[in-house]
Structure 1
Amino acid sequence: MIYRRKTYKINPEKLDTFNHFFHTYLYPNQLNYGATLVGRWVNETKDEIVAIWEYTDMEHYEAIEKQIRNSELHKQAQETRKAIGELYIESKQDFLSSTAPPPASYHDPKHIMSVSGYITNQAGEVLLVRNYHRADTLEMPGGQVEVGETLEEAIHREILEETGAIVRLVGITGIYQNVTRGVTCVVFRGEYQSGELRTAESETSEVYFTELTKENIDQLITREQFKTRTLDAMDANYLPYEAFKVRPYELLSRSDVKKEYS
């Protein structure tokens, strides 16, 4: 075995952007072609990130790098980097001794939690976005839940970041598990309150309200997994939701079935 250590110097303000880029492009592409991520660490000042990868030998590493450079995901990563601008200040890599044991083992999160929102305006139109990385379809705005966030906080933040809209939530309409990717999505229904609609740099290329019906949904939302959850939200059957802390117990929020909340 050989171990490749990749070190990135970054602007601390770009940490979240870099993490998103790493987990969206760098990590899955290496994994797809047979590399193993031993570990990834961020220093206390959040200006340096170190990732250690494991390969069978140098020939294995070189073969993986060649496949990655020719991959569609790598092309998408390059386009995203152009849109984002400076992702890191500098990077370097070296190879550790094959006899040196890896400092720790790394495991991909067993599950990723995400949220999306079926948001309507006073005219009954639905807020849809086109994501740069899924340009073939429109979809409801949303994204991953960050550490320490409640689901409600996450959906408010994601909708605001992606579209500029401030919304009032009504309830949860469904839970959807992507077993292949290990992603579970919770869908909220809500109503537009304020904010000027706009796209988000490197995330959304289109943002607008439009009439959405069972008759025209196929023309707008082309991916089946997005279509199903949208149709469920149209004819909502709301689910109870509760957020809390323990040690000591503290109820943060609760929504009962068909009970509106902000």
Structure 2
Amino acid sequence: MLLYMSSSHSESRSTPLHSVSVAGAVVRDDGRVLAIQRADNGTWEPPGGVLELAEPIENGLRREIYEETGVKATVEHLSGVYKNMTRGIVALVFRCRPEETATALSEETTAVAWLTPAEVSDRMSEVYAVRVLDALRPGAGPHVRSHDGQRLIADE
């Protein structure tokens, strides 16, 4: 569902709104990355979710990571911005480090694991794996990419 909001009362045209989500590439000292298997569709992804309206970005990110994995994380830096062109969702992905490494399941997750970069590539779809792998690239970023929900879309 697309939501529309007029930018001024006198304007007759409407502007589509985007949904903003956050995700954390939480990286341990040994290079393994925190990942969840979603309860609703079984996909593997970095932990994250939609920001609440009055919620600061980093607070929402820490909340989402903790709710889905039981891990408290420290936000290090923005590693990428990803837009789902089909659904109008903009995802902000941040590299994070864990404050502890013990995990817990939630009602949103059926599995939580610390994956190697190779396991990220094997388990996650292209549009989620690239978010994690981009965060692991030293000194490169933030990356800006678009996708259709399944595959990356090349820049024109």
CA distance, structure 1, for counterparts of residue 67 and residue 120 of structure 2: 25
The answer to whether 1:225 aligns with 2:127 is: yes
CA contact (8 A) 2:134 2:141 kept: no
Q: TM-score, normalised by structure 1?
A: 0.46
| CA pair 224-238 structure 1, distance change in 2 beyond 3 A | closer
Residues 125-144 of structure 1 aligned to structure 2 (within 5 Å)? 125-135=32-42, 137-144=43-50
Percent identity between matched residues is 33
| CA displacement at 1:133 relative to structure 2 | 2.3
Shift of 1:195: 6.3
Alignment of 1:63-102 (within 5 A): none
Q: CA deviation at 1:238?
A: 4.6
1:124 to 27, 31, 41: 31
The one-letter amino acid paired with 2:120 is: I
Match of 1:188 in 2: 94
Please, which runs of 5 or more residues in structure 2 have no aligned partner?
Answer: 4-13, 143-156
Q: CA deviation at 1:234?
A: 1.4
1 or 2, which has the higher helix percentage?
A: 1
- Separation of aligned partners in 1, 2:122 and 2:101: 27
The structure having more radius of gyration, on CA atoms, is 1
Asked if structure 2 preserves the Cα contact closer than 8 Å seen for 1:129 and 1:138, the reply is: yes
The answer for unaligned runs of 5 or more in structure 1 is 1-27, 32-36, 38-106, 240-262
1:204 aligns with 2:106: no
Rounded Cα–Cα distance in structure 2 between residues aligned with 1:120 and 1:195: 10
Aligned residues: 131
Please say if residues 118 and 127 of structure 1, whose CA atoms lie closer than 8 Å, have aligned partners that are also in contact: yes
Counterparts of 2:31 and 2:49, CA distance in 1? 23
Matches of 1:190 and 1:156, distance apart in 2: 9
TM-score (norm 2): 0.75
Q: Which runs of 4+ in 1 moved over 2 A?
A: 236-239
Matched position secondary structure for 1:207 = strand
Contact 1:189–1:233 at 8 Å: present in 2 too? yes
**Cα separation, partners in 2 of 1:195 and 1:229, compared to 1, 3 Å:** closer
Q: Partner of 1:187: helix, strand, or coil?
A: strand
**Structure 1 residues 195 and 233, CA, compared in 2 at 3 Å: closer, same or farther?**
closer
Correspondence for 1:161: 67
Flag the structure with more relative contact order, 1 or 2, with Cα contacts below 8 A and sequence separation at least 6. 2
What per-residue deviation string (whole Å, max 9, x for no partner) do you get for residues 60-110 of structure 1? Answer: xxxxxxxxxxxxxxxxxxxxxxxxxxxxxxxxxxxxxxxxxxxxxxx9x61
Q: CA RMSD in A?
A: 2.3
Deviation at 1:210, TM superposition (A): 2.3
